[in-house]
Each structure stands twice: as structure tokens, then as C-alpha cells.
Amino acid sequence: MTASIASPERLRVGVIGFGWMGRVHARAYARLAQHYPTLAGAPELVAVADNASDDRLAAAAQAFGFRDVHADWRELVARDDIDVISVTGPNFIHRDVSVAVAEHGKHLWVEKPAGRNSAETRQIAAAVTAHGVQSAAGFNYRNAPAVERARQLIADGELGTIRQVRIRLLADYAAHPEGALTWRYQNEWSGSGVAGDLVSHGIDLARYVVGEVEQVFADTAIFIPTRPLPSGVATGHGSRGSGEHGPVENEDYLAVLLRFQDGARGVLESCRTAIGEQCNYGIEIHGDRGSLAWDFRRMGELQTSLGQGYENAFYRTEFVGVESGEFGHYQPAGAIAMSYDDLKVIEAGRLVRSILTGGPVGATIHDAVIAADLVDAMLESVETGTWTRTTG
């Protein structure tokens, strides 16, 4: 089935999975017309699907403005009054649901890692291509205006030849030893641990700003080897278990050396059990003429060391403003903070532009394939103890 739109003035939206990320997507669609009033295709929230068994889902859906609620995602996908669908549930549903979305001629916004491994991500990409639909992948950090500014500085040669890159993604969401043994810690359901959850973000950020990675050498560790079984329904990061413990099957920690195609070298470190760290995500890039650094926790700032020679240079803080990325759609002047949710509104807007123009804008499922290939290469490197090339 080939994608079609009933009216370019109104894109009809469905969301599958209505946890935190499903609600972020719903808010992004709802806010799109506020930030991009001249953009056609203003979304209309039509239906949401989730397997929640009580009235909370219906109440939440009503609060967000959805007309209908489905317990079975297949019912939502089969509707003929929906143009675009967000897939925001756990990793183990990504492939089956996303392929079905494309096969029914709906455009797709899927959260990373878009499957449990690169084979599943490639199946989604093949379905998107075969059925002529547009796609977006949930790599939101590349949308930050400071990241766009960093990318432009590198493209303009302000840093010279890139020599080294450092990426960090440190979090504490799995630091509690009594955190429940949810799907995230079992490979049948998740495919990997912190590699798919956070490292995929870091890889997309690195290749978007710097360039493609061709080889990796990685190490992993499981710091909390067992966790208590869930007590009742437990899905969120803060869920606690009780009683009997089961084994954690995937990595809490990953460190990787990177070789970029242009010769730059990189180091990426990520951990989900880092006490004291909440969303400590960032990138540092050094060239032969200058350097820059970005920290997600100070999203509107870019640290730059440019035009000062080679020794005793220092960093300056740039507060990005309307000249950088899509900042001007959200705030009127620099140093006024943007939010995580704003990055998802940018993502939604780029998907809508993709749909209206028939060509990719922003991160797509094909970017997710590259990230998944690199994650698989890292995990292969851990097994073999050697440098591993990506499948390309």
C-alpha cells in the first residue's frame, strides 16, 4: 500500500504506546501549529493504542485530545482515517508494529533503537522504502540548536581537521539494585542494554556532527548482575521488584573506541547505573585549529575555543539564539532556555515536512539502521576482542 493523505491541511495521527514517550509525541504533534503556524498539515490526534487494562489510558487520551482508544494496536494500524503513526512502545514491538504501519501506507515516527538489533531495524527500513512512506527516528539530541551550531562550525572548517571526539551518556535510571527486572534487562525483549538505549543516541550525535564511523573496539560490563522480579505491572525506570531475583542479561556499561572515516579518533562511554548522574549527555570535539563542547544539561550553550592559536587557549560560552537551528521558532533571543519536549516538536515538524515534500528531512529510519549496525558491531567487538567494521 502506498501512502496517501486525505488533506494536506490536516495530518491525522495515531500513537501506539502511551507511556512517557507516547505522551511526549502527542504533545509534540499538538504544539506543532503553535511553533510553525505556516506549516501545512497541522496534526489532528485521532487514536491511541496501549494494553493498559484500566480507565487511566482513556482518561489520559481524553486529556491529550484523542478521539478513540484501542487495546490492540492492530486495530489502530488498520484504520483508514489515520495518515501517520508514532511507535513509542518497548523495543520488542518496534519491528512488528512499524512494518505493519508501513504496509498499511501510514507514515512512521519510531523511537530509537527501532528494533532489538540491526536486522529488525533493516526490516523496518525495507518496509518504509517498499511502501513509499516517510519516516522519522527518535534521535532528538541532534535537533538542539547548539548541536546545529556545532555542526555548522565544523562544516565551515572553523575547527580545522577533526582529530578527536569524546561522547558521554551517563545516567542513574538503573542504579538502584532493587530496580525491577523489567523487559529492559532481558535480551529477548530489549535486544541490548545501555547500547541500544543510550549509545544509539551518542552514535547518531557523533555522526551527525562529525561524520561516519567505520570501526569500533568495545568493552562492556554488568554492574548489577541480578534484579528482583517485578511486583505487579512494572515497566518504568523507577519500578521496584520484590522477592526472587533473576539475571540481568545485558550491559549496564559500554566503552568504545571509534575510528571515523575521515581519520578522526573517538571515545564513547555510557552507563545506566552511574550514581549522581542524570542525563549527563554530551560531546567534545577537537580539531587542529579549535575545539567545542556541548552538554545536554545546558542545552542552549556551546563551549567554543576558536581563533586563539595553539597554546593557552580557553573556552568561551556561546548562548545560541535565533541564528542557530530552529531556535527562533521557540524563543525570541539567546539564553532563554529550550526544553527536551521542544526537541521532539522539532522532530515532529521535520517529519511533517518530509511527508509534505516527499523527501527525508531530519533523522529517518535509515539513520536508525546505521546506528543499529554500529551497536551490533560494538557488541560483536566485545565478543571477539577485536576492532570491528560496520556493515555499511
Closest by CA position to 300, among listed 334, 332, 346, 331: 334
Cell 532528538: give the residue: 140
In a 10 Å sphere around its CB, with 0-12 CB exposed, 13-18 middle and 19+ buried, how is residue 37 labelled?
exposed
Number of H helices, E strands in the chain: 11, 17
In a 10 Å sphere around its CB, with 0-12 CB exposed, 13-18 middle and 19+ buried, how is residue 220 labelled?
buried
Closest by CA position to 272, among listed 374, 170, 163, 130: 170
**Which cell is 195 given?**
547500547
Phi, psi values for residue 160, rounded to 5°: 75, -150
CA angle 201, 27, 92 (to 5 degrees): 45
Q: Kindly report, residue by residue over 27-82, the tens digit of the pLDDT.
A: 999 999 999 999 998 899 999 999 876 677 888 788 999 999 999 999 999 999 99
The whole-number average pLDDT for the span 380-389 is: 97
Q: Please give the single-letter amino acid code of residue 289.
A: R
**Whether the predicted pLDDT of 5 surpasses 60:** no
Q: Per-residue DSSP letters for 338-376?
A: P-HHHHHHHHHHHHHHHHHHTS--SS-HHHHHHHHHHHH
pTM: 0.94
pLDDT range class, residue 6, cuts 50, 70, 90? very low
The whole-number average pLDDT for the span 215-237 is: 85
**Which residue ranges form the domains of the chain, and what is each CATH number?**
10-140 (3.40.50.720), 145-337+370-384 (3.30.360.10)
Q: Per-residue DSSP letters for 244-284?
A: EEEE--S-SEEEEEEEETTS-EEEEEEES--TT-SSEEEEE
**Which cell is 275 given?**
550514581
Q: Kindly report, residue by residue over 323-374, the tens digit of the pLDDT.
A: 999 999 999 999 999 999 999 999 999 999 999 999 999 999 999 999 999 9
CA angle 226, 22, 105 (to 5 degrees): 115
H helices within 156-262, ranges in order? 187-190, 194, 200-209
